[in-house]
Amino acid sequence: MFITFEGGEGSGKTTIIERIASHFKNSYKVIISREPGGSFIAESIRDLVLDPKHKGMSFQTEALLYAASRAQHLDDILIPAMDTHDLVLCDRYIDSSFAYQGLARGLGLAYIEKINDYALNHLPVKTFYIDVSPEVGLSRIKDRQKFDRLDQENIRFHHLVRQAYLTIADVYKDRIVVIDGHQSIDAITNQILDEIERQLHDTK
C-alpha cells in the first residue's frame, strides 16, 4: 500500500511518518522515502532545486526538475518497493508539485499532469495532507540551522501553497485526507493510524 504525506513547512510530516513506520514495523514490511530525493540521482536533483543559491531558477525549470527527480525515484525506489513491501510511506509526492508549482507558482494543474505523466500511473492509495497555518508552521522551524530555497519564500507564497493544497484536496477528495496540523503530534499520528488501519482492513 503506497501512502503519501503532504504539508507546508513545519507541518511535522517527518516525525509523524517515523512514528507511523515504527507502529507498523513489527506487523508489516515498511519502507520510508521522500521527495524530492529518495535515491542517489534523485537526491542530487534535490540538492540542485532546493539550493538557496539558485534564486533565479525559473518556475518551469523548478517544476521539470521535481518531475525528473520523481521519475528517477519511482524507478529506483518506489516501484520496486511496491512489490516487496506491505507499506510504502513517502514524504511528499506529486501533490507537492500540484500545490507549489501548479497553483502557487501559477503553472496550472494541466502542465504538472503533463510533465508528471509517469507518476500519474503510480498514484498513492491514500494521501494525508497535514494542514497548518504558515505562521504556525514557520514558527516551528525558525531554529533550523539551514533553510532551503522554498523555506525562504515570503509569507504570501506559503499562504498560496496552503490554499493550493486545500483546493487539491477537494479535487482528489477520495484520495486525500485533510488533517488538522494544529493538534498535538500524538493526536495527528493516532488519527492517521486509524485511517491506515481501516484501509488495511478493507484491502484484506
pLDDT tens digit sequence for 35-85: 999 999 999 999 999 988 888 899 999 999 999 999 999 999 999 999 999
Q: How confident is the model at residue 15 (pLDDT cuts 50, 70, 90)?
A: very high
Would you say residue 141 has pLDDT above 90?
no
Min mean pLDDT across 75-84, 152-161, 177-186 is at 152-161
**Residue 49 belongs to domain spanning:** 2-203
Q: How confident is the model at residue 19 (pLDDT cuts 50, 70, 90)?
A: very high
What pLDDT is attached to residue 145? 60
Would you say residue 6 has pLDDT above 90?
yes
Find the helix or strand (DSSP H, E) in which 89 lies: strand 87-91
Number of domains present in the structure of the chain: 1
Segment 2-28 mean pLDDT: 94
Would you say residue 168 has pLDDT above 70?
yes
Would you say residue 183 has pLDDT above 90?
yes
CA distances from 113 to 55, 94, 117 (A): 25, 9, 6
Cell of 140: 516551528
Q: Select from 54, 65, 13, 4 the least CA-distant residue to 196.
A: 4
Would you say residue 23 has pLDDT above 90?
yes
Task: Write the pLDDT tens digit of every residue in 105-134.
Answer: 999 999 999 999 999 999 999 999 999 998
* CATH number of the domain encompassing residue 107: 3.40.50.300
Cα separation, 45 vs 54, whole angstroms: 12
Would you say residue 204 has pLDDT above 70?
no
What pLDDT is attached to residue 134? 87
Task: Give strand pairing partners of 7.
Answer: 130
Cα–chain-centroid distance for residue 16?
12
Segment 5-21 mean pLDDT: 93
Q: pTM of the entire structure?
A: 0.93
